Amino acid sequence: MKTKKLSVTLTATLTFIVSIITIVSLNGLLIGDESKPQEFLLWNGAVPEGDKIRENDKPKIALFTPKKPNGTAVVICPGGSYSNLAWDWEGVNAAKWFNSKGVTAAVLAYRHSRRGGGHPRPLIDAQRALRYLRFNANKLGIKPDKIGIVGFSAGGHLASATGTHFEDHAKPVDEIDKVSSRPDFMILIYPVISFDEKITHHGSRRNLVGNNPSAEIVKFYSSEKQVTEKTPRTFIVFTNEDQLVNPENGIEFYLALRKNKVPVEIHVFQKGRHGIGLGFKDQCNEWTNLCEIWLQGNELLPAPPK
- Rounded CA separation 189/239 (Å): 10
Does the residue 305 lie in any domain? no
pLDDT at residue number 280: 64
pLDDT at residue number 17: 32
pLDDT at residue number 129: 98
CATH number at residue 98: 3.40.50.1820
Does the residue 48 lie in any domain? yes
Q: Among the residues of 63-213, which ranges form H helices? A: 87, 93-100, 121-135, 137-140, 154-164, 202-209
pLDDT of residue 266 exceeding 70: yes
- Rounded CA separation 75/142 (Å): 12
Q: What is the DSSP string of 32-67?
A: S-TTS-EEEES-SSPPTT-TT--GGGS-EEEEE--S
pLDDT of residue 90 exceeding 80: yes
Does the residue 43 lie in any domain? yes
Does the residue 91 lie in any domain? yes
pLDDT of residue 16 exceeding 80: no
20-32 pLDDT, tens digit each: 333 233 233 223 4
- Rounded CA separation 257/69 (Å): 30
Q: Which domain holds residue 250?
A: 38-297
Does the residue 304 lie in any domain? no
What proportion of the chain, given as a percentage, has pLDDT over 90? 76
Domains held by the chain: number: 1
101-119 pLDDT, tens digit each: 999 999 999 999 999 999 9
269-290 pLDDT, tens digit each: 998 888 788 876 666 779 999 9
* Sheet strands (E) in 98-245: 104-109, 147-152, 185-189, 233-239
Does the residue 181 lie in any domain? yes
168-181 pLDDT, tens digit each: 766 788 999 999 99
Does the residue 33 lie in any domain? no
